[in-house]
Amino acid sequence: MTMKDRFDEGDLPNFEPDGKVGLMATVDPDGLPHITLITAMQALDTRRLVFGQFCEGRGKRYAEERRKVGFLFLSLDRRVWRGTASWTGKSDSGPEHAMMNKKPMWRYNSYFGIHTVHYLDVVSASGAEPIAMGRVVAGFAKGALAKAAIGPRLGPAPHPGAMNPWTSAFVSRPGNLKFAAYVGADGYPRVVPQLAASCSGGGRAYLPGTEYPEEVAGIPDGSSVALFAMALSMEDVLVRGRFRKAGSGGFVDVDWVYNSMPPVAERIYPPLRLSEKVTAF
């Protein structure tokens, strides 16, 4: 994949529709990858991105704190653009703030709108890449074989109950979109489509690597990998764990699960400690 330091001018209109998929990968305080769905993200020009914030979550905070970001756009005609960027600032007013709030998704929203816009400078950007559906189909077939042949040799998953049945089924569902993220040697996170990813029980996910095989094969063994799964109904979930290489793909021993859907984005596993019941007022 050839990367440049800017977008092609002709690609910019593809990032404007509300119906596209926009993803932002960030790095948490422990140096681990995180993925956030950001539909209100687009290019201002060939070298700058802007995204709007309407709810609170970890990804926006990590972008501001760590400044190194990975991004992905998936257009309505199933083309992908990927790259890295640096967070440069934010604003609660101005032309970009007004532009975001005039979009149909937000202009007619009775409850909330975009309250902050964030600015990113493009560091690297790919051209348009079509989703290779043949590789996705091959990935599901490879996954079934790998989970049966290789999975048992790995032994039990360290956290077999990390993903509940809903999460495991959701990640494995063929019609859902799935994307992996890892932190590169330069500290920038990268997002990689892995539509054929699936789960092996409640504690392990499998990345077949039939999509972007060289990149998946280059993820260091033992590194942390995040896997984001979403449906077109806007349901989504994020899991993360240690990557165990297996040929051109690999398994993720899931040890962390996160609900990124509004209204409350928060960790699911390990379970949060609940506050004690109030008995006296």
Question: In terms of residue numbers, what domain contains 149?
Answer: 132-267
Q: Residue 21 domain-assigned?
A: yes
DSSP β-ladder status, 249-259 and 204-207: antiparallel
The answer to whether residues 251 and 206 belong to one domain is: yes
Q: Residue 60 domain-assigned?
A: yes
pLDDT of residue 128: 96
Please report the DSSP string for 54-71 in residue order.
Answer: -S--HHHHHHHHH-EEEE
The answer to whether residues 172 and 50 belong to one domain is: no
pLDDT of residue 80: 97
Q: Residue 30 domain-assigned?
A: yes
The answer to whether residues 169 and 57 belong to one domain is: no
CATH code of the domain covering residue 166 = 2.30.110.10
**Positive or negative: CA dihedral 119, 122, 128, 131:** negative
CB 149 within 8 A of CB 206: no
pLDDT along the chain (281 residues), means of 10: 91 92 97 95 97 89 97 95 98 92 74 87 97 93 88 90 96 96 98 96 95 94 98 93 94 96 86 73 67
- Cα distances (Å, whole numbers) of residue 42 to 45, 88, 135: 9, 15, 28
Distance in Å from the first CA to the final CA of the chain: 62
Mention every residue, 6+ apart, whose C-beta is less than 8 A from residue 154.
Answer: 204, 244, 251
Q: Residue 244 domain-assigned?
A: yes
pLDDT of residue 102: 87
140/225 Cα distance (integer angstroms): 19
The answer to whether residues 24 and 118 belong to one domain is: yes
Q: Residue 275 domain-assigned?
A: no
Q: Residue 152 domain-assigned?
A: yes
The answer to whether residues 58 and 105 belong to one domain is: yes
Joined together, the tokens standing for residue 98 give: 């007004």
The answer to whether residues 218 and 102 belong to one domain is: no
- Cα distances (Å, whole numbers) of residue 88 to 27, 45, 56, 58, 69: 16, 15, 19, 17, 11
The answer to whether residues 112 and 16 belong to one domain is: yes
Give the torsion through C-alpha atoms of 4, 94, 36, 169, to 10 deg.
-120
The answer to whether residues 142 and 259 belong to one domain is: yes
243/215 Cα distance (integer angstroms): 14
Q: Which of 79, 96, 129 is the last residue of a domain?
A: 129
Domains: count for the chain: 2
